[in-house]
Structures are given as C-alpha cells and as structure tokens.
Structure 1
Amino acid sequence: MRYFELDILVVADQLTEAYVEIFTAPPWQHRDAEATRAAFRERIESDAHRPGFRAMLAMSDDGEIDGFVTGWTTQAPFRTDRAYGKVTTRLGADRVSDLLVGAFEVDELGVRSHARGTGLGRRLLSALTATAPGGRAWLLAWNQAHDTLAFYRRIGWQEPEPLPGNETDVVVFLSPS
C-alpha cells in the first residue's frame, strides 16, 4: 500500500479508471461511465487540496490500482453540497457538530472485483483511519449498497440512530474506536 497526499494527482488518471470500474458496476450500474469519469476526475483534483486530505492505494505487481481509500478532516461549517444535507437531516446539526466535525471523513473506498474477499478493503480503511484526529472517523454509504453496508457493520463501524422520521437514502457510520 502507498500513502498519498496532494501527490495523489500524479496517479489521478489511474485512480479515476479504478473508480469508474468499481462505481459503475452493481449496485451502481445505473451510472453513466463517462459522466462518472468526468465527475470523479474533477472531484479528486479539488479534494486533494482539502485540509487533512490523505489517500492509500493498493497496487498490484503490474502497477494497476487494486483498491483505494480517500478522505480528509471534516471542517466547520459542515458542508451542504453533495450528500451532506442528507447527513444533517438524518442526524441533526448538533450531532453533526459533535460527531463529525473535526473527525476524519472517509470519502471513497473502492476495491476492484478481482481483489474483493481478500481483506484489502479492511486493510485500506484501517491504514487510512489509524491516525484519525482523536481516533474519530466517519463515512456515509448509500442505503441500497447492501454489500457495502454489511461490510462496514461486519468490521465494527457503528450507525448513529437517525432522528425520528428523518431517515434518508444515506447511512452514516462512525469508526469502531
């Protein structure tokens, strides 16, 4: 595994191709590959400049990316773009502030199909969150990604209860520590 910060941009093309392969396959098969490619490439260019950005990549012997994990330290004020509004709806502003702001936010975790079932996802996630501020990390997942949800539950990530009546299509997980 290789650790990256801003230098992730050196392998941005390879990372983008791995992302597209993973996140246009089931259960995300409804995503257009070209639109996914363009959106992720733009996002990684921006995300690499976030405070606390870090990434881990697992490379095969032939130099291909088998898996990756990216993230950064969640800043205040809590964002409202992407799925962040759903996180605030689900947990409420006070719990977002208490649980998520200042913690390490895992943004993307992906393992190519040929490397699944090897423990690679767990190793990547553990390596990247090992130095999380105060041992605190969080992530969100789509509620229709059933295998993904089962994976996080199996490795001990916890789900804070949503506010009554405020379930969304995202599930928030807190790191086991």
Structure 2
Amino acid sequence: MPFDDRRQPMLRPDDQEEYLAHLLAGRRLVRRQFGATCSFGDPPLCKACSTVIMRRARGGRLLEGTYPSCMVLRIIRLDGEQTMARLREIQEVYAVAFPGYDLGDHRDRTARQAAVAGFEALLAEEDGRLVGFAYGLPLRSGGWWSGLDPASSDAAFTAEDGQRTFALIDLAVLPDARGRGLGRRLVSDLLEGRAEQRATLATNPAERDVQQIYERWGWRKVGRVPGSPGETQTEFDLYLLELR
C-alpha cells in the first residue's frame, strides 16, 4: 500500500529527537529514527542518494532502496538554556521570516521566555542548515487573555495555573523550505506529548493569510486582545487548539 507519513509512530529518545528524513516526490516524507530502520510500502528507487533504507516488497521480503530528492532533515528538541545557546542562528531565521522586527526586542523576550519552567523549542535543520523553528511555554497567569474581546461568558476560560495552556510563541520557516509541510510538522511535534489541556497562539490581525493556515490546522479564533507597550503589534487575534 502507498506510504502514508501520518500513520508512522513518533520516536522520542530521552535526550532529543533525531530523524533521518527523505523528501519524496509528491511531498511524501519518509522518516526513520536516526540509526534505526523502517519498513513501508512501495516508494520509487533513487540512484542519486547513497543512504540505504529498507522497503518492504510484495510477499514481505525486505529490499534495500533509496529515494529521490534526498535531503537530511533533523528535528532537534531544546530546553530554554539550549535554545539561548543557539539564539544567534535562530535570529538569522527570525530576521528573514519577520523582516523589520526588532532583533534586540526579540532577544530580550526570548531570554525571559526561555527562563520559564516548561519552555521548549524545536529546530529544523536540512543538511546541517537551520531552516525553521518553533517554541513556546506554559501560561502561568491569565494575563495572556487580558482585555479579550469578545469576553468569554465562562469566567474560568481565562484561568491559568502553569499547567493548563501551552502558548506557541513563535513559528518561522525560511522561504526556500516552505511548501513541504515543515511548519505544520514543527507545531504538531512541539505540541505532541505536552501535558497541557490546550494550546494558544497570537496572530497579527492584518495577516489573514497566516490565520487561514492555522485555521486549516484546526485552530479556532477566540477573540482579540490589545498589545502591551513595546510589543510587536498594537493588538492580536488569539487562537486556541484543544489538546485533550
């Protein structure tokens, strides 16, 4: 049967995630744990790549094969201290994804966020080059929802205790790495396994195209809040995704 990436299990070593991935024609992704072997349906062979991956032929025989458009994709999970150690690289991607934003402000905000317990980041590297990242942290207070319009009829909606809601703070992918589902993968991998009940993110109300992407991924808009002094926008549209 054809290979379906969505049905492959996530593999999580204790230290960090390492995937050896091959980008296939038709945007199919073959993924295996670094140093391990997978078996799957009937993909085409590739003569350009020397990496050997197993494929299962009819009758259950295992055949060695490689794949077209081969590129090593590595997804790395970092805590706050590890994130700050790679902030210079992260900011190089940030500057391209968000032109005109203040890198000094981003550095200061990220330093504060990275110090929060439960902060987590994912980096995506293709052939050793950082091409994308996503990171976030648990909400410890209801300040995120301050001034929400329309206000929720349920007073408990905005209650936070550091364990209820994970805030996706930033997601960025370089232009030449877009269109292959990498942004969605970073978000889904970051949220998978989180203990929180729900996730939230803030968007620029003027960037409707960005909002539509999140909506296709299952997020729903819950309202608008004013930005605080010094923030990147004067107001934000907040989105929510149930994790449980």
Cα distance between partner residues in 1 of 2:126 and 2:88? 16
1:73 pairs, out of 138, 142, 145, with: 138
Offset of residue 135 of structure 1: 3.7
2:88 pairs, out of 3, 9, 13, with: 13
Would you say the 8 A contact 2:224–2:236 is kept in 1? no
Would you say the 8 A contact 1:158–1:176 is kept in 2? no
Cα distance between partner residues in 2 of 1:66 and 1:13? 13
CA 1:176–1:136: 2 relative to 1, 3 Å:
closer
Cα distance between partner residues in 2 of 1:108 and 1:162? 18
- Look up the equivalent residue of 2:218 and give its one-letter code: G
Offset of residue 140 of structure 1: 1.1
Q: Secondary structure at the match of 2:147?
A: helix
What residue in structure 1 maps to residue 205 of structure 2?
143
What residue in structure 2 maps to residue 118 of structure 1?
180
Q: Secondary structure at the match of 1:2?
A: strand
Q: Secondary structure at the match of 1:50?
A: coil
- Look up the equivalent residue of 1:42 and give its one-letter code: D
Cα distance between partner residues in 2 of 1:74 and 1:127? 19
Would you say the 8 A contact 2:164–2:197 is kept in 1? no
What residue in structure 1 maps to residue 116 of structure 2?
50
Cα distance between partner residues in 1 of 2:241 and 2:109? 24
CA 1:162–1:21: 2 relative to 1, 3 Å:
closer
What residue in structure 2 maps to residue 89 of structure 1?
147
| Correspondence 1:23 to 2:101 | no
| Correspondence 1:170 to 2:170 | no
Offset of residue 176 of structure 1: 4.5
What residue in structure 1 maps to residue 77 of structure 2?
3
What residue in structure 2 maps to residue 128 of structure 1?
190
CA 1:10–1:88: 2 relative to 1, 3 Å:
same
Cα distance between partner residues in 2 of 1:96 and 1:21? 34
Q: Which has more radius of gyration?
A: 2
Would you say the 8 A contact 1:103–1:132 is kept in 2? no
Offset of residue 133 of structure 1: 2.5
Offset of residue 104 of structure 1: 0.7
Q: Secondary structure at the match of 2:131?
A: strand
Q: Secondary structure at the match of 2:96?
A: helix
Offset of residue 111 of structure 1: 1.0
Cα distance between partner residues in 2 of 1:146 and 1:162? 14
TM score, norm. by length of structure 2:
0.58
More strand by share: 2
Cα distance between partner residues in 2 of 1:65 and 1:136? 28
After the TM superposition, which parts of structure 1 deviate over 6 Å for at least 4 consecutive aligned residues?
Answer: none
Cα distance between partner residues in 2 of 1:38 and 1:134? 30
CA 1:140–1:149: 2 relative to 1, 3 Å:
same
CA 1:146–1:122: 2 relative to 1, 3 Å:
same
CA 1:169–1:46: 2 relative to 1, 3 Å:
closer
- Look up the equivalent residue of 1:114 and give its one-letter code: D
